[in-house]
Structure 1
Amino acid sequence: MEFRIIALDMDGTLLDAAGQIPDSFWPVLEELRSRGVAVAPASGRQLATLRAIFPGDTFIAENGTCVFHEGEVVSTTLLDAATVHSVIDAAAGLDMDLVVCTPTVAHHLPGISAATEAELAKYYHSRQETEDLHSVTDVIKLAGFTTGDAEREIYPALLDAAPDANVVVSGAHWVDIMAAGAGKGRALTALAEAMGVGKHQIAAFGDYLNDLELLQAAGTAWAMENAHPDIKAIAHHIAPPNTEAGVVTVLRDLLRQ
């Protein structure tokens, strides 16, 4: 095993069709850690949510805008206030619900749809209703959810509202907005530098457009069989789909080498 860091996207990558970590992953994780490999979830999910579902001390949360290592938040990347206000205003005219994320709490308006409520229950364990989203400070990410096609229906308008930010389609129904330069790739590079790890010692797995820079930051990158075509195009390898525990299959093979 030549890798020192293995970064794993969660939804559509490590998690199965039911949104759960496969039982077969846990002994693989134990073996990797026994060999000194840091296994880091790298997700659009909130830090509180990741810590609730994944035992560990290294996390790349909120699409890289919040990095946690060895018991503390070691990096946050704030959005500028003008971008935050512009997106909040734009979201009011779109068929979507907006989540305004700080390192510890996700804020949303009262009266969200049942579909949004179900999504937030999965991704944001620490959240609160806030009447005026403009009042939220220390914003690290904005997340827009639509029941329609996010890439076609809300991405163009959000990109127009935040031309100087990093706007990415993070799922079929989600668009995330971070500060320019922020993202999973930048976070992974910073983590590797802090640990004294070279790019050739990093592996990463992903499936969607917000994983593009994550895979590019790794010396060896796997796209899932179920991945977006643009992610498959830049990956070094293709892993079996998440519905077949593809990450576990690849990691087992690596451990045998």
Structure 2
Amino acid sequence: MMTDLVAFDLDGTILDAEGRLAASAAETLEELIVRGIPIASVTGRSILRIQHPFESHPTLARALYLAGYNGSVILGPGEGAEREVLHEERLDEESFAQIVEYGRAEGLNLMYCLFERTDAGIAEEYRHVRPIDHLEALKGPGMVLDVDLYVGRTAQAHAGGRSGAAGAAHRRYQSAVRRSGLYSVGDSRSGGIYASGRE
């Protein structure tokens, strides 16, 4: 069997209890690089936070494909501005307005992230807004679609009865995961590491 890609989560998978890259994981990932097998970190973390555990392993850091915000942004290998944006899914104005209204109606906090690729690299900023009056004035440009951060609740735990944009986004995410042949986060079949291969 030829392996096309090895993808893994960070927290509770290749990081130890203190959030450091486990030595055994670093050795395994380095071996995969030597064998020419692409590696990808797939997580709910932001793109910049994905890279922190690899700061003391620059070869690994440069080789990684980065899938952040639960897959809403995917970057190719490299460093800084040389990383190519392979995929990004942003909120449209209507969805953003629906999420703001849902949060307001439910009395929930809203957390969102601004993500931009600049000539210098990646610029990210998380914002947490307690009173969300007038947030719709932002109209959503630059907002990254992170289904777990819509309204301060875990979308995967609450999407069953969720309607509107948040539920639709979660269903699109789950459908894409199923089509990919990979298992979603928390699925007992995944073992924490995702691998896609062919005979």
TM-score surpassing 0.5? yes
The offset of 1:51, in angstroms, is 2.4
3-state secondary structure, aligned to 2:23: coil
Q: 1:137 aligns with which of 138, 141, 145?
A: 141
3-state secondary structure, aligned to 1:4: strand
Q: Which amino acid aligns with 1:165?
A: A
Structure 2 CA distance for partners of 1:15 and 1:97, relative to 1, 3 Å: farther
- What corresponds to 2:180 in structure 1? 217
- What corresponds to 1:23 in structure 2? 23
Q: Which amino acid aligns with 1:66?
A: V
In 2, are the aligned partners of 1:65 and 1:140 still within 8 Å (CA)? yes
- What corresponds to 2:163 in structure 1? 160
Q: Which amino acid aligns with 2:143?
A: V
3-state secondary structure, aligned to 1:85: helix
Q: What is the 5 A alignment of 1:57-72?
A: 57-70=64-77, 71-72=83-84
Q: How many residues align?
A: 171
Normalising by structure 2, report the TM-score.
0.66
* 1:192-231 CA-partner distances (Å, limit 9, x unpaired): xxxxxxxxxxxxxxxxxxxxx17x624xx678xxx74xx2
Q: Measure the CA separation in 1 of the matches of 2:27 and 2:174.
A: 26
3-state secondary structure, aligned to 2:95: helix
Q: Which amino acid aligns with 2:36?
A: G
Q: Measure the CA separation in 2 of the matches of 1:91 and 1:28.
A: 43
- What corresponds to 2:120 in structure 1? none
Unaligned runs of 5+ in 1: 113-129, 169-179, 187-212, 252-257
Structure 2 CA distance for partners of 1:31 and 1:222, relative to 1, 3 Å: farther
In 2, are the aligned partners of 1:6 and 1:40 still within 8 Å (CA)? yes
* 1:120-159 CA-partner distances (Å, limit 9, x unpaired): xxxxxxxxxx98542141222141335xx8766x5467x2
The offset of 1:65, in angstroms, is 1.6
In 2, are the aligned partners of 1:58 and 1:69 still within 8 Å (CA)? yes
Q: 2:98 aligns with which of 77, 86, 90?
A: 86
The offset of 1:164, in angstroms, is 6.8
Q: Measure the CA separation in 2 of the matches of 1:33 and 1:145.
A: 37
The offset of 1:30, in angstroms, is 0.9
Say whether 1:99 aligns with 2:111.
yes
- Deviates further, 65-74 or 86-95: 86-95
In 2, are the aligned partners of 1:59 and 1:67 still within 8 Å (CA)? yes
- What corresponds to 1:45 in structure 2? 45
Q: Which amino acid aligns with 2:29?
A: L
Q: Which amino acid aligns with 2:75?
A: F
Normalising by structure 1, report the TM-score.
0.53
Report the RMSD for the aligned CA atoms in angstroms: 3.7
In 2, are the aligned partners of 1:78 and 1:140 still within 8 Å (CA)? yes
Q: Measure the CA separation in 1 of the matches of 2:40 and 2:106.
A: 34
3-state secondary structure, aligned to 2:31: helix
Structure 2 CA distance for partners of 1:49 and 1:217, relative to 1, 3 Å: same
* 1:167-216 CA-partner distances (Å, limit 9, x unpaired): 27xxxxxxxxxxx4xx4885xxxxxxxxxxxxxxxxxxxxxxxxxx17x6
In 1, are the aligned partners of 2:113 and 2:126 still within 8 Å (CA)? yes
Unaligned runs of 5+ in 2: 55-60, 78-82, 117-123
